[in-house]
Amino acid sequence: MTTEPLPVPSDGELYEQIAARVPSADVKRVREVLSAHGIQLTSPLPARRQLVVHRLYCEGTKTDTDDNDGAFTSDMTLGPGPWAIASTLNNAGKSSLLWALSYALRGDGFGAFKRPETVGWFSYVRADVEVAGVAASIRLTFDKPDRPSCRLLSADALEHLTALIGSQETGPGVRVVASAEPDGVKALIDRFMLDRLGLRPLPLWTAEAGAPKDADGNRDSREDIHGWASYFYAIALNAGNSSILLGPTGHNQLPVKLMQLFLDVPYASELTQVTTARKKDTQEGNRVQRRAREDAQAREQQTEPLRHALRAAEDKVTALETDQPDLTGLLADVDAAARQVARDQAGLQAAEEGHAAARKARLKDEKAFRRAEQSSAARLLLGALEPESCPRCDHEIDDARRTAEESDHRCSVCASPLPEVQDDPETRAALRLRLEERVNASRAAEDTARQSVARNTAACESSRAAYDLVNARLSAARSGSWYTRLESARESVYQLRGALAVATGNGTGLPEVVGDYVTATTSSSDTEDGSADSDTILEAAASALTQVVADHSKALFTELNGEIVRIAHDLGVANLTSVDLNLAGHLNARKTGKKHPFSAFSPTDRLRMRIAAIIGMIKVGRKRGIMSHPGLLLIDAPTAEELSHDNARQCIKTLYETAADDPGIQIVITSIDDAVWEFYPEDRTVTGLGKRQLF
């Protein structure tokens, strides 16, 4: 019974849901963070994937057989529906042809189909296919075993390709669209198939074998990209002896992720991208922190000799400072002596200025006395003013005016004629006496000033000598071995602190400019994503997408469970009561009502359970109007280990009817079972001459 499909939120609604879970972010910010991680949410559209094989052509040379060596050509015309590559013999080439087809479709031979003894036989493989409506012909040329080059042909119509004969590559509307050397064949086919089928590479996070565990028990991991080669496991099924339900590995829930993709679960691919991005960011952050811790530990070990030397130098400085001589008294004496020198120099300067003034006065008085003795004009003006300059305009009275005063009897100040006076001997004697007294007084004053200069000079010399003495004592104290040792010890401390700062990248305690330099030159180059909300947004995106994917997966798995049980019964799996696929990729089968692990199934039943799962996915998708699975199955020997003839017959019948009843399915099997000839008509059977060797 088909349940009503769940509503699928649009990409805009999902962006809004994610933003609502992060208070600090809006829809624009959510888009920015997801885009920065290469993630873009896109409203899902119904998938229309289809892969149909129309022709398989092989050339080669068989060697080292018992009785069948020689060149061979095999040309198989196929198409939608059921096909059987059959023979009544083992070792007839059935699996080898399936391997050749898988090589063309996958870019690498499928391991479960590989027969090592026949790999070297093939020299040319051609597969004409239709991929999502596009006609293509994949041509492999094997110059070395298992190392083909490739040419990819396309045409305007499929008929133009199928009309080409053998290895022919030219014809109406046919063109070579790509080619690759052996190392690039797998990448070419991968790119072509993913692009045409609308599939994205599937990134999964896988723990690195042997990597150390962190404090939480997690190992360093790597990103494994699963491309078309992994998707191909939903076309070419694992061998019966494999315990993996689907895909090349069971790690990281790859089987369930393949199922979600081929069931067209909305946003399953985006959820895988977000999960991988979170793990990648978390691991990178853990690696940065671990490197920082390891670097710190390494620096701690490397810098321990520096720390030890710094402690010793600091202890030495402390000890020297404790034994420091008392310089306080000497400094005070030097200061007092310097002050006394300053005072004595000021006194000497004042005495010298006074002596100069007294000498000038004495010279003036002596000059006046001489003039009085020699000049009648001087005697006339004796006792009068004898200014140096005009009292009104301050103009200097020069020698010419004074000479005129003597010779022409004109006043040297105003140039007026001097009055005629009679020379009075008594007056002259009185005036001369007065002038002598003035000269004597000025000479006495000069002597006194000279003595003051002498005294002050002596005082200056004494104070300078005293200053030199106490300063010499201070210099001697400072230049002693203690002071030298203290300065040397302090210098060692400064050097060791700088060296330790550079070694540890910690400039704390250093001058600002030095500390900034140390921080700038030793800071780690590892930087985290500058956006503080990036992790929170990725977490919110994972939560929102997980809810959508889980709800749709559970609904689809519920429907798929019933299909698997029904188809498995038809294929001959006995006593299967139920299965309950979960999001961890576990089948959770029950037989006769009891738990029955997938690994407990027989190899034959495991293969049939895989067939049931793939066909079930195709049918569930078809019921919902989608073609998310390409519709092609390649099954090697589905009844190889079946002991019951009836079960084998039922399996062959179911495979034929399944492909025959659904025009969107192509199933190619290999078999030697008699039931093949019963159910597969001749035009649906590929066999060799006499139903024996295929080539």
pLDDT band at 323 (very low <50, low <70, confident <90, very high): confident
Q: Where are the beta strands (DSSP E) in 99-173?
A: 122-131, 134-144, 147-155
Strands ordered across the beta sheet of 666-671? 632-636, 666-671, 81-86, 685-686
DSSP bridge partners of 77 = 55
380 has pLDDT over 60: no
689 by Cβ neighbours in 10 Å (0-12 / 13-18 / 19+) ranks as exposed
Q: How far apart are CA 28 and CA 387, in angstroms?
A: 101
Q: How far apart are CA 94 and CA 102, in angstroms?
A: 13
Gyration radius from the chain CA atoms: 57
Which pLDDT value is given to residue 211? 65
Q: How far apart are CA 497 and CA 365, in angstroms?
A: 78
Q: How far apart are CA 321 and CA 192, in angstroms?
A: 82
Instruction: Looking at mean pLDDT, say which of 37-41, 207-211, 373-377 comes out highest.
Output: 37-41
pLDDT band at 525 (very low <50, low <70, confident <90, very high): very low
Could you tell me where the DSSP H helices lie in 479-589? 481-504, 512-522, 534-571
Q: Using H for helix, E for strand and C for coil, what is the string for 227-266?
A: CHHHHHHHCECCCCCCCCCCCCCCHHHHHHHHHHHHCCCC
280 or 502: whose pLDDT is higher?
Answer: 280
316 by Cβ neighbours in 10 Å (0-12 / 13-18 / 19+) ranks as middle
Q: How far apart are CA 197 and CA 131, in angstroms?
A: 7
pLDDT digits (tens, 9 = 90+) for 14-35: 999 999 999 989 999 999 999 9
CA dihedral 91, 95, 96, 99 (to 10 degrees): -160
Cβ density class 519-541: b for 16+ within 10 Å, e for less: eeeeeeeeeeeeeebbbbbbebb
> Using CA of residue 437, residue 441, residue 442, residue 444, what is the dihedral sign?
positive
CB 279 within 8 A of CB 601: no
Which pLDDT value is given to residue 143? 94
pTM of the shown model: 0.68
Which pLDDT value is given to residue 383? 43
Task: List all residues 6 or more positions away from 591 whose beta carbon is below 8 Å from its beta carbon.
Answer: 574, 575, 576, 577
Question: Distance between terminal CA atoms of the chain?
Answer: 46
328 by Cβ neighbours in 10 Å (0-12 / 13-18 / 19+) ranks as exposed
152 or 251: whose pLDDT is higher?
Answer: 152
pLDDT digits (tens, 9 = 90+) for 49-69: 899 999 999 999 999 888 889
136 by Cβ neighbours in 10 Å (0-12 / 13-18 / 19+) ranks as buried
Q: How far apart are CA 132 and CA 196, in angstroms?
A: 6
Query: What's the token pair of residue 381?
Result: 């003006």
Total Cβ atoms within 10 A of residue 623: 12
Which pLDDT value is given to residue 516? 57
Weakest mean pLDDT among 65-79, 158-172, 247-261, 648-662: 247-261
Weakest mean pLDDT among 280-294, 626-640, 659-673: 280-294
Which pLDDT value is given to residue 420? 61
587 or 641: whose pLDDT is higher?
Answer: 587
Average pLDDT, the chain: 85
Task: List all residues 6 or more positions away from 298 whose beta carbon is below 8 Å from its beta carbon.
Answer: none
